[in-house]
């Protein structure tokens, strides 16, 4: 296992992945096979390609519209292209997750641009994962503009192959190869136009190739466990309250007092609560008459209560009434025909203008000098174009890549400080350092409905989104006050809606976000609130595991999910919702193998009793639910009690 090198033959192998290379005449994969379920399948391997003698190439760089491939010098079959690079050096080492192979490639002749490609592979020791990236260096004496870099190529068989390819780049890296029919390239989705002066280099995104499963739930479980290895910071979410309606300094301190009493672990002081505007980041004088001194005193007060506190802020938004916007309108993105962008919808400031340095300094000041525990970011980079010729991007093509690099660097600075990042950015942001992102709810729904219809609709979309990323890496929405015109309509006289709203947060493994100055409104809602906080804290390790989808919410029948975490004290928790005012029954098949139970095991389900699993590790449970009831049932091994 790991990496073996014998002359010009190289093998990368773990329990799930086998990839072999011949580097004698250009780098080429002569075999690429996967083994879903690892050794459970015995010695049966599935080929990623079979009829061809090798993959078309290992990497490719595009310059002036021409692809230069690091591949075999001479192709066979219907392909008449020739590889443009020789392997000049091979290095082997150890990475974070497993063995690392580096292939250094230079052009075979003078027709190839003066670039060196360093192709890096890491084969994980324990995970069903191979990662790959390319560093491009200019070794010539003149500037070279790189249009694109293809990091790898594979045949995915229209999704039939149990191989998931993802990256830490925000946007889809997959593109059908126009020449090598039925192969998929993994490259930047748009031309990047990166200009390299002599001696300069840049690195691509990380391309991750993971062996998964043809079963949708099993595939998501495998991937989510990989994500938590790649981004361990996502696995420790804090119960979070969001407030922006305090009108006095004392009220801000009272929020900390109540949070401490109620079991809240983090508070985000939302838009407009702390600063005169988004952009200048000047403390509101009505709340903080002594400016930063008062704000730091407030942060210290939260810390004395063991509450993490985050400010609402943005890396890309400057309000039109902010001084930085007024003085530096040229720091904005400049779109086609001179268009500027709405700061409330998209973010309007370009990192490659002096804004990038300005906002990094402002936000790191909040962390380093004022002591905030993280940043509640809004308006991240949403792929806006910029045609400004006085920003750092040398052309309009490289804006997207350079802005991704800026966020990668900035998020890295925050992660090094062990601070929290929450951000409405693409899922891949977790690999750069983001702790949480939106978990599938839609603000469009909040604009159109409230009460139980909003609660069930939100739960349904959250259910769907948990195939994509784990609950611990996301938040869902529970608006106790109006947001976009509606709320969950909390009420002491209609506790069912309140119960289902909080169940859709904590029962789905989310830690928030709970929006509104007050979290409950009397004895009834307070009891429900405390029930769900206690539930989340009791089963925190299980909820930070993976979610199995059992029955999708539709608003008129019971719906259900199951959380699994084989290493937790409670390896599984079942959560079942009855969304209507009448008794309901439901039978559920529980794939408890994902919780670590083996076929034939006896398990004990809270309030149900002992059941025996079939040979696959699955069991059937039948439940009766009272009107609007939510059942939370722990699942444990049914161990015999030792005799006295």
If one counts the domains in the chain, the total is 3
Q: Which of 394-408, 468-482, 559-573, 630-644 has the lowest mean pLDDT?
A: 630-644
243 has a pLDDT exceeding 60: yes
Q: pLDDT band at 210, cuts 50/70/90?
A: very high
In a shared domain, residues 584 and 628: yes
Q: pLDDT band at 345, cuts 50/70/90?
A: low
Instruction: Give percent of the chain above pLDDT 70.
Output: 99
Give the largest CA-CA distance in the chain. 84
641 has a pLDDT exceeding 50: no
Structural domain contains residue 457: no
In a shared domain, residues 244 and 210: no
392 has a pLDDT exceeding 50: yes
644 has a pLDDT exceeding 50: no
Assign residue 314 the CATH number of its domain. Answer: 3.20.20.70
- Give tens-digit pLDDT for 503-518: 999 999 999 999 999 9
- Give tens-digit pLDDT for 153-207: 999 987 789 999 999 999 999 999 999 988 999 999 999 999 999 999 999 999 9
Tokens of 141: 């004496």
Q: What is the spatial distance between Cα 504 and Cα 542, in angstroms, rounded to a whole number?
A: 16
100 has a pLDDT exceeding 50: yes
Mean pLDDT of the chain: 95
Shortest CA distance to 156 belongs to which of 129, 136, 177? 177
In a shared domain, residues 181 and 255: no
Close Cβ partners of 274 (under 8 Å, ≥ 6 residues apart): 283, 284, 287, 288, 295, 311, 312
Last residue of a domain, one of 399, 420, 435: 435
- Give tens-digit pLDDT for 347-356: 899 999 999 9
In a shared domain, residues 172 and 295: no
Last residue of a domain, one of 407, 435, 463: 435
Q: What are phi and psi of 462, to 5 degrees?
A: -65, -40
Q: What is the spatial distance between Cα 595 and Cα 562, in angstroms, rounded to a whole number?
A: 10
Q: What is the spatial distance between Cα 554 and Cα 579, in angstroms, rounded to a whole number?
A: 9
Q: What is the spatial distance between Cα 575 and Cα 290, in angstroms, rounded to a whole number?
A: 49
Structural domain contains residue 455: no
Structural domain contains residue 482: no
Q: What is the spatial distance between Cα 398 and Cα 388, in angstroms, rounded to a whole number?
A: 12
Burial tier of 43 (Cβ tally within 10 Å: 0-12, 13-18, 19+):
exposed
**What is the pLDDT at residue 184?**
96
Task: For residue 554, give its domain range.
Answer: 541-637
Close Cβ partners of 569 (under 8 Å, ≥ 6 residues apart): 541
């Amino acid at each position: 296992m790991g990496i073996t090198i014998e002359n010009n033959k190289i093998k990368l192998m773990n329990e799930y992945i086998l990839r072999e290379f011949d580097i004698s005449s250009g780098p080429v994969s002569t075999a690429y096979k996967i083994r879903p379920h690892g050794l459970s399948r015995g010695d049966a391997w599935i080929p990623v390609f079979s009829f061809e003698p090798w993959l078309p190439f290992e990497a490719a760089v595009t310059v002036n519209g021409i692809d230069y491939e690091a591949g075999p010098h001479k192709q066979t079959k219907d392909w008449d292209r020739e590889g443009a690079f020789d392997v000049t050096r091979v290095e082997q080492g150890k990475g974070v997750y497993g063995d690392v192979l580096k292939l250094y490639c230079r052009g075979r002749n003078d027709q190839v641009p003066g670039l060196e490609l360093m192709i890096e592979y890491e084969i994980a020791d324990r995970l069903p994962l191979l990662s790959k990236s390319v560093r491009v260096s200019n070794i010539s004496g003149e500037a070279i503009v790189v249009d694109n870099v293809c990091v790898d190529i594979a045949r995915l068989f229209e999704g039939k192959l149990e191989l998931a390819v993802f990256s830490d780049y925000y946007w889809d890296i997959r593109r059908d190869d126009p020449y090598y029919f039925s192969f998929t390239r993994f490259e930047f989705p748009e031309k990047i136009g990166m200009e390299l002066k002599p001696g300069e280099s840049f690195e691509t995104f990380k391309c991750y190739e993971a062996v998964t499963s043809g079963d949708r739930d099993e595939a998501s479980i495998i991937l989510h466990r990989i994500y938590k290895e790649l981004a361990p910071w996502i696995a420790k979410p804090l119960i979070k309250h969001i407030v922006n309606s305090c009108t006095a300094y004392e009220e801000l301190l009272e929020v900390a007092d109540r949070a401490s009493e109620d079991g809240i672990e983090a508070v985000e002081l939302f838009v407009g609560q702390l600063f005169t505007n988004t952009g200048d980041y000047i403390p509101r004088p009505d709340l903080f008459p002594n400016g930063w001194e008062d704000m730091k005193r407030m942060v210290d007060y939260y810390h004395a209560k063991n509450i993490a506190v985050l400010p609402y802020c943005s890396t890309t938004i400057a309000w039109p009434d902010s001084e930085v916007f007024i003085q530096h309108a040229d720091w904005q993105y400049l779109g086609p025909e001179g268009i500027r962008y709405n700061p409330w919808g998209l973010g309007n400031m370009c990192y490659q203008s002096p804004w990038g340095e300005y906002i990094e300094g402002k936000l790191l000041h909040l962390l380093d000098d004022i002591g905030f525990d993280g940043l509640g970011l809004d308006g991240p980079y949403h792929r806006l174009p910029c045609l400004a010729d006085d920003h750092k991007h040398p052309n309009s093509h490289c804006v997207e890549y350079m802005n991704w690099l800026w966020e990668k660097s900035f998020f890295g600075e925050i992660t090094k400080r062990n601070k929290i990042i929450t951000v409405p950015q693409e899922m891949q942001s977790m690999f750069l350092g983001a702790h949480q992102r939106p978990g599938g709810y839609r603000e469009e729904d909040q604009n159109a409905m409230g009460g139980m219809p909003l609660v069930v609709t939100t739960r349904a979309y959250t259910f769907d989104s948990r195939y994509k990323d784990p609950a611990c890496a996301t938040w869902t929405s529970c608006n106790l006050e109006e947001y976009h015109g509606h709320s969950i309509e909390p009420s002491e006289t209609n506790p069912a809606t309140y119960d289902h709203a909080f169940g859709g947060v904590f029962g789905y493994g989310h830690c928030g976000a709970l929006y509104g100055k007050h979290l409950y409104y009397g004895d009834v809602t307070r009891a429900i609130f405390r029930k769900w906080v206690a539930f989340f804290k009791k089963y925190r390790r299980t909820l930070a595991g993976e979610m199995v989808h059992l029955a999708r919410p539709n608003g008129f029948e019971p719906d259900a999910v199951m959380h699994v975490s084989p290493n937790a004290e409670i390896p599984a928790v079942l959560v079942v919702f009855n969304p209507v005012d009448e008794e309901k029954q439901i039978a559920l098949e529980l794939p408890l193998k994902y919780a670590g139970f083996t076929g034939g095991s006896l398990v004990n389900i809270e309030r149900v009793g002992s059941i025996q699993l079939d040979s696959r590790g699955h069991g059937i449970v039948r439940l009766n639910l009272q009107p609007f009831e939510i059942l939370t049932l722990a699942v444990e091994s049914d161990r015999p009690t030792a005799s006295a």
